[in-house]
Copies of this chain bind each other. A is one copy, B any other.
Amino acid sequence: MAGQASKDEEGGRHGPGPAMTLLLTNARILTMDGARTEHERGWLRIEGTTIAALAPGDAPQVAGAEIIDCGGDLVMPGLVNTHCHLAMTLFRGLGEDVDDRLYRYILPLERHFVGPEMVRIGTALAALESIMGGTTSVADMYYFETMVGEVMAASGLRAIVGQTLADFSPPDHADFDEGFARVEELVDRFAGHPLVIPSIAPHAPYSTGRAVMARIADWSADHPHVPVQMHLAESTLEVEWAKNTHAASTVAVTRDAGLLKPGLIAAHCLQLDDADIAMMAEAGVGVATNPRSNGKAGRGIAPIEALRKAGLPAGIGSDGAMSGNTLDLFAQFAPVSMFAKLRAGSRRPLPAVDVITMATIEGARVLGLADKVGSLAVGKQADLIRIDLSAPRLHPIYDIYAMLVFATLPTDIRATMVAGRWLMVDRQVQTLERDKVLADATQLAGQFRAEMARIDERLRQ
């Protein structure tokens, strides 16, 4: 349906750069503001990067404004992907059902191929998918993160780009000193960038260690505007590590290192007890839940209801496409909802409006961006998506949130805007060369396949 139902006459009006004044009229508007205000039919005025006005009814005339009639389409905040490894999109579905694929394929392939060029291509493929999936902000953790920042800047997406630090000799640092140098380079490059926010990303407690976590906490105290991201309480192995090395929970080890602090973006958070949740709430961290990644790995269901009841903001993450296979958040909505209900054994937890809250304003809170994005309100950045509601699959519409959570597909999104700039119009991404990105990715995937064949051959001998 998407694309076919597009309005040709608009094509020419969506320029690649921000218009000075843009009026979106005749839109069904979901603001996701504090009162969850909805307008059955309303309009938005965008000045440069910013929402200057929005209201129900007919738009007032504005001299010289570009006017886009949304024809009853839904306009809502762009989605916030709180956890991703963008470049790993190149590993999507690789060795899917091979039990030891991490050690057999992924780690050898990462050692062999991960460099600025692989990261450039993988991140571009991920940006293409993210924009087409209605994501407007994304938090990334990977290697050669300065390159990730470059690609994200070019794509026009809002991004927190996290340089990973780990002790397993990852592709871009032999030791933590080198890792910190990567972080410094990243911070220098993107300090003050309007869309790309540099970030430091200790991989996980067990792969960083308490001493280095303490060093990162100190560094972070000196760099209060650099977000910290980390995998936390993801696996039983991690729980065992914390117990064996520190006789404590992995959350307690992180707290003792000084890293459990306001603004920490904690991904996964599966293996938690009540004391851990209380510690996290007291520290004021944010949670990024990744249900498809966790579900596919059989790792369990995050206690999202308990975390949110304790006052922790929880956003939704796609994780890398190697783990979750897709990067759009629509694929995560039904799992987020179902997992909460299955965990509780009841239909009651996490109503649809809460899932959409998590994907927008609450996710923005997790990323420290809630003053800028996550809801449609005057003075906020114009990060929004326009959704075609014409598919039979969406009808009847009794409840717009339920429709979004359980029936809407990323292909229903007609247009994606970040900071007043259209990144996609009529399903066509404006900021990246789709064919070139796909060709580069396919070429690299061919090299991966050849290397996998060599690995299999060696293991047969």
Contact = CB atoms under 8 A, between A and B. Distances in A.
Nearest to A351: B97
Nearest to A334: B292
A396 B3 CA distance: 23
Given A347-B99, A411-B2, A342 B298 contact: yes
A129 interface: yes
Interface in A396-419: 396-399, 401-403, 406-407, 409-411
A92 B292 contact: no
B347 A296 contact: yes
A91 to B, nearest CB: 8
B300 A93 contact: no
Contacts of A95: 398-399
A363 to B, nearest CB: 20
Interface string A14-32: 0000000000000000000
A427 interface: yes
Given A2-B2, A97-B399, A298 B345 contact: yes
Interface in A58-112: 90, 92-97, 99
Contacts of A300: 342, 345
- Among A337, A399, A410, the most chain B Cβ lie within 10 Å of the Cβ of A399
A348 B99 contact: yes
Contact of A96 (B94, B129, B395, B402): B402
A92 B395 contact: yes
A449 interface: yes
A356 to B, nearest CB: 12
Contacts of A448: 396, 398
Contact of A396 (B324, B401, B406, B441): B441
Interface residues of A, number: 73
A325 interface: yes
A325 B402 contact: yes
A339 B300 CA distance: 10
A245 interface: no
A153 interface: no
B2 A328 contact: no
Q: Copies per complex? A: 2
Nearest to A332: B334
Contacts of A286: none
A266 interface: no
Contact of A292 (B1, B4, B338, B434): B338
A271 interface: no
Given A3-B4, A300-B345, A347-B99, A125 B395 contact: yes
Given A96-B351, A392-B129, A393-B132, A342 B399 contact: no
A345 to B, nearest CB: 5
Nearest to A126: B392
A289 interface: no
A341 interface: yes
21 contacts: A1-B3, A1-B132, A2-B2, A4-B4, A4-B427, A93-B397, A97-B402, A125-B395, A129-B392, A295-B342, A296-B334, A296-B337, A296-B341, A298-B347, A298-B348, A326-B406, A335-B338, A392-B434, A395-B445, A396-B448, A411-B411
Given A297-B341, A325-B407, 14 more contacts: A2-B2, A94-B399, A95-B398, A96-B399, A99-B348, A292-B334, A295-B341, A296-B334, A298-B342, A300-B345, A301-B342, A334-B335, A392-B437, A395-B442
9 smallest beta-carbon distances between A and B, as pairs:
A295-B338, A396-B445, A325-B406, A298-B341, A97-B351, A96-B402, A93-B402, A3-B4, A411-B411
